[in-house]
Structure 1
């Protein structure tokens, strides 16, 4: 197994991409801290991991709450003795053109993605530096690298996470910490399902047209990226053996964005 006995934290892991990665890490032998807004939200993921023979713990962690993040990381280290991998995955979305966007909605998206990523990073690095190294990962997006209409706070936050990832790769190198950001295309999670009718209404087109002509228009095959695709990449990045791969944005998008 590629991650045997390593300790991993994944935020926003109660469902969607985070859950798929948590289950994949556990199959590869990691002990997985499943973090979500409430402990109950993480419980199903933990139950699935334990039913499959893996090891996991559920954490209540609002990533915008400094104390909650620090306490969660402390709880992981208290239980398992270390933190080897942290993935800042928690996210939200808001659809609006810039000129109609409420400041409160801008702040919410930025707080969860960018402030949350910072707080998780800071808490994780303190543990990783003390223990001699680790892996810091971020759930970015193709929107870390290019923009789409109606998503300005999400695009800005994901670009910011790319910058944070690169800064951590530079600073963390002397402490044995690698840092990379995963940049998926559209994955049909609850977050994306919610966007389909919202974009249809805003653009004045059908939901089918949103899928075909907006979300999947620039892919090579008209297919959604799957949670399994993203989870496989997350395992590879966590298990990669050296700093040859650090500070990188890795795109998994059916060719939507090529770099």
Structure 2
């Protein structure tokens, strides 16, 4: 029997999905037939327009729900407002870079809240829905920094390591149910945010954009190629497929060999 990825009738909630990896994941899940709920902390016309575009392009239901994931009650309310959640993708994130002794406490608190605590809150709200439906998929977008570290990123690295640990706990608590929990660990991904940083980084190092991409931005990524949001979306869709029914509590690296070093 062919194990195809048909997610028709399933509803996927993707946090932090009005751009970048989250939006790429939402599009690939919609391509597989899932209805999608987009999310971020803004509430702009263009946010809702993204949902309308996905609905039109993939003939699925799609909507946008605003929620500030730094607040636990709003993270839980996002799942409740979705009404159903067969697939939960925890992707929302922010970054701040500073030495530990200079790291602003408010930045630490915000990063941990948005990138780790929100995963706890959305999962806690979604699991009863998945159990009622007798099926569920939780995919947490961690990072190569969930498996290794870099200096000056104490909050980000701590949060991403925590996400991997949370994923394992959820997998063990649901191991004898038709629910799986896994973490995807991207390296550098070609998002609009990264693309916008390349020209300024090239000026800073007095290099061409190609040279600074290879020698600076992708220094730790052995393939010297960015992953794409479509590849991340395809990886997530695979984890939602019948082929991945026995894949739970683990990490999948999409990092061009970074964590092989």
Give the TM-score normalised by the residue count of structure 1: 0.88
How many residue pairs match? The answer is 253
1:196: Cα distance to partner?
A: 6.4
The SS at the match of 1:257 is helix
Q: Deviations over 1:89-136 (max 9, x none)?
A: 000011112222111111111111001111111111121123323011
Greater relative CO, 1 or 2 (CA 8 Å, sep 6+): 2
Which ranges of structure 1 fall in alignment gaps of 5 or more residues?
Answer: none
Note the C-alpha offset of 1:197. 8.8
Contact 2:188 2:221 in 1 (8 A): no
Q: Which residue is 1:120 aligned to?
A: 122
Q: In the alignment, does 2:78 pair up with 1:76?
A: no
2:227 matches 1:225: yes
State the TM-score, normalizing by the size of structure 2: 0.87
For the residues of structure 2 that align with 1:143 and 1:85, how far apart are their CA atoms? 24
Q: What does 1:206-225 correspond to in 2, within 5 Å?
A: 211-225=213-227
Who is 1:16 aligned against?
A: 20
Say whether the 8 Å CA contact 1:14–1:43 is kept in structure 2: no
Unaligned runs of 5+ in 2: none
Q: Match of 2:126, SS?
A: helix
In 2 relative to 1, CA 199–130 (structure 1 residues): closer, same or farther, beyond 3 Å? farther
Change in CA separation of 1:131 and 1:252 when aligned onto 2, cut-off 3 Å: same
Q: Give 1:64's aligned residue.
A: 70
Partners of 1:99 and 1:240 in 2: CA distance = 47
Paired position in structure 2 for 1:31: 35
Q: Deviations over 1:39-87 (max 9, x none)?
A: 436313202202213320111111222332222222222xxxx321000
Deviations 1:9-57 (A, max 9, x none): 0000111111111111111100111111134363132022022133201
Q: CA RMSD in A?
A: 2.5
1:37-186 equivalence runs, <5 A = 37-40=41-44, 42-52=47-57, 53-77=59-83, 82-186=84-188
Secondary structure, aligned partner of 1:173: coil
